[in-house]
Structure 1
C-alpha cells in the first residue's frame, strides 16, 4: 500500500467518524489515486485532479462533483504536506443540481391518496397510502421512511425512531394520534405478508420485502400523472421528496397564522427534520412566497405598533 493509499484510508475513516457515509468517495477516490500513480506522481496536483475529474467526456455535469471529492482529500493532504496542491473551487463549472421545491397543498395530497387506491392490490394501496401520509405529516426523508423497521414504531407512546439517518444521526418523532391510529390499522391488516427478513420492515411489499426507494418514487410519478398534478416549470416538477418541503413550509405557515414565535418553531422544526445546520431548514422554506407575505405582514404590524 502506497503512502497516498494509506492516507486515503485514514482520511475516509476520519470522515466516517464525523458521521459522513461517503458512498461515492469510497468508490471514486481510490480510482483517482490509481490515476495519480499511473502518471508517476507522488503529490496531488490541480492539473492531475482536473484531468481525472473530466475523464467522463460525455458527462460534464458530473465533473465538478468529482473534483469536489478530490478537493476534500487534497485539503487533508495539504495539512500534512504543503507539497500537495488544493484545486481551486472555480476550476470547473458547477451547474445547479437543486430542483425548485414543488409545494403540495392539502387538496393535492388528498388527490394523491385517492388515486393510490387505483393500484393493483389492496395491500399495495395501503402501503403507498401509508408512505405518502407518513411523509406528509412528519417531513421525514424518503430513505428514512422505507428504512423503518416494525420495531421502530412504538404504538404505546405514539413515536417513531429514525436510526442512522443522514450524518449517522438518530432521532425520535412524536406522531399525532391520527397518524398513530393509521399506522396501527396498516400493521394489523389481515393481508399483511409475512416478512422475508429476520427484522420486519414497517413498510412491506406484497412479496414480504422492504419497500424500495426507487419503487416508491416510480409509483409516485405514476400517481402524480393520474392526479393531474403537473410541473410548474422545467425545474419545478412534482417529486416524492417535495412532501418534506411541503411539511416544512406548512409548519412555519401555521406558526405565523397562530401568531406564535416563529423563531422557536423553526428551531423545533430543524430538530424534527433531522438537520444538523439550521441553514438546511431555511433552504426548505426559501421557495414559498406565502411565507414572505406573512413575514412582511408581521414586520409591518411590528413597525406600525412601534411608531
Structure 2
C-alpha cells in the first residue's frame, strides 16, 4: 500500500520543518489512485497516466516533479520503485509577473477604504491594520495571517510560519507598534475562538483567498485596478513595493546597497539572496543607477 509510504514521507518533510499540506494532499490522491490499480511500487507509467489527467500543463509539471522526488525517496530503500527522469512534463517555469509598485498615496487610500467597510464587526479594523502592516513590513500575507497575539514582542514581530518552515524576528517602527497595539485593544474586546492576531467576524483569521479578494475589490473601487477580467495590482505587490522602495532609498550609495541587500534578504525571509536581487530589476530608478555605475566603470577602464 503506497499510502503508508506517503505518511512516512510527509512525516519526514515535517521533521525538516517544511510546510507540506498541499504536497500531502497531492501524494495522498496519487497513492489512492495507484492502490486502486493494485500497485505496490511507484512506476513511471502510473505517474505519467495520473499526471496526464491534470487540469493544465503547469499543474501536470508540478505533480510530476513532486512524485519524482517522492519516488526517489522510496527508491533509496527499495530499488523496485521507479527513478523518473527530470523534465518528463517539461521544465518551463511561469515567468514572474511584473510587480506593480504602489505609490504611498495609493496604499493610504486602500488602507483608508478598508477602515470604512460597512458593518459593526471587527473585520474593517482587521483589514485596515493588516494591509497597513503588509505595506510597512513586506511580510507575506500567509505570515501575517499566522501571527498570534503573543507574537508581538518587545523586540518586534515573531514570524513563526515563514515560507520553507523557518522563523524570524521582524523589528518594527514605533508607529507600527502603536498601530498594532491599538488594533489589539479593539481585537481583544471582540468575540474570538482563537488566539489569532488578525480575526474577522468568525472569531478566526481570514484565509488568504478572502484577504486577496477584499484587497482587489477595494483596489477596483478606488480605480487602482481595472475591471473584472483584467490584470492589475495584487496584494503581493505590497511586498514588492516595500522591497523596491527600501532599495531606492540607498540607490546612490553602492556600499549601502550591498549591506542593505543582505539585511533585506533576512527581513523578507528569502532563502537565497538571488530572490532579493530580482527586485533590482523592478524600477527605472534602480536600473538607471545600475546603468550609470556600469558606464562609469567602463569609461574608467578605457582611460
- For the criterion TM > 0.5, the same-fold answer is yes
* Structure 2 counterpart of 1:167: 164
Post-superposition CA distance 1:66-86 (Å, at most 9, x none)? 111111112223333444333
Query: Shift in Å at residue 14 of structure 1?
Result: 1.9
Alpha-carbon spacing, 1:13–1:100, altered in 2? closer, same or farther (3 Å): same
Query: Shift in Å at residue 159 of structure 1?
Result: 0.9
- Cα distance in structure 2, aligned partners of 1:7 and 1:39: 16
Correspondence for 2:117 among 95, 116, 119: 119
Q: What is the TM-score of this pair, normalised by structure 2?
A: 0.85
Q: 1:117–1:125: 8 Å Cα contact kept in structure 2? A: yes
- Cα distance in structure 2, aligned partners of 1:216 and 1:41: 42
- Cα distance in structure 1, aligned partners of 2:40 and 2:202: 52
* Structure 2 counterpart of 1:203: 198
**1:180-195 correspondence runs (5 A):** 180-189=177-186, 193-195=189-191
Q: Which moved further from structure 2: 271-280 or 132-141?
A: 271-280
Query: Shift in Å at residue 259 of structure 1?
Result: 4.9
- Cα distance in structure 2, aligned partners of 1:37 and 1:182: 53
Say yes or no: does 1:176 pair with 2:173: yes
* Structure 2 counterpart of 1:142: 141
Post-superposition CA distance 1:227-268 (Å, at most 9, x none)? 21136xx99521111111111111222121455431221111
Q: What is the TM-score of this pair, normalised by structure 1?
A: 0.84
Say yes or no: does 1:153 pair with 2:152: yes
Say yes or no: does 1:36 pair with 2:34: yes
Q: 2:19–2:164: 8 Å Cα contact kept in structure 1? A: yes
Correspondence for 1:226 among 201, 221, 224: 221
Correspondence for 1:280 among 263, 275, 282: 275
Q: 2:270–2:276: 8 Å Cα contact kept in structure 1? A: yes
Q: Secondary structure at the match of 2:251?
A: helix
Q: 2:6–2:24: 8 Å Cα contact kept in structure 1? A: no
Alpha-carbon spacing, 1:40–1:185, altered in 2? closer, same or farther (3 Å): closer
Query: Shift in Å at residue 138 of structure 1?
Result: 0.5
Alpha-carbon spacing, 1:258–1:113, altered in 2? closer, same or farther (3 Å): farther
* Structure 2 counterpart of 1:242: 237
Q: 2:129–2:183: 8 Å Cα contact kept in structure 1? A: yes
Post-superposition CA distance 1:33-87 (Å, at most 9, x none)? 333344444443322211011224x544421111111111122233334443333
Q: Secondary structure at the match of 2:210?
A: helix
Q: 2:194–2:203: 8 Å Cα contact kept in structure 1? A: no
Q: 1:115–1:226: 8 Å Cα contact kept in structure 2? A: no
Query: Shift in Å at residue 192 of structure 1?
Result: 5.8
Query: Shift in Å at residue 19 of structure 1?
Result: 1.8
Query: Shift in Å at residue 305 of structure 1?
Result: 5.5
The structure, 1 or 2, with the larger RCO (C-alpha pairs under 8 Å, 6+ apart) is 1
Post-superposition CA distance 1:145-189 (Å, at most 9, x none)? 1221222113xx351111132222111111112212222322234
- State the number of aligned residues: 299
- Cα distance in structure 2, aligned partners of 1:11 and 1:218: 34
- Cα distance in structure 1, aligned partners of 2:271 and 2:98: 22
Unaligned runs of 5+ in 2: none
Q: 1:217–1:240: 8 Å Cα contact kept in structure 2? A: yes
What is the root-mean-square deviation of aligned Cα atoms in Å? 2.8
* Structure 1 counterpart of 2:101: 103
Query: Shift in Å at residue 272 of structure 1?
Result: 0.6
Say yes or no: does 1:298 pair with 2:293: yes
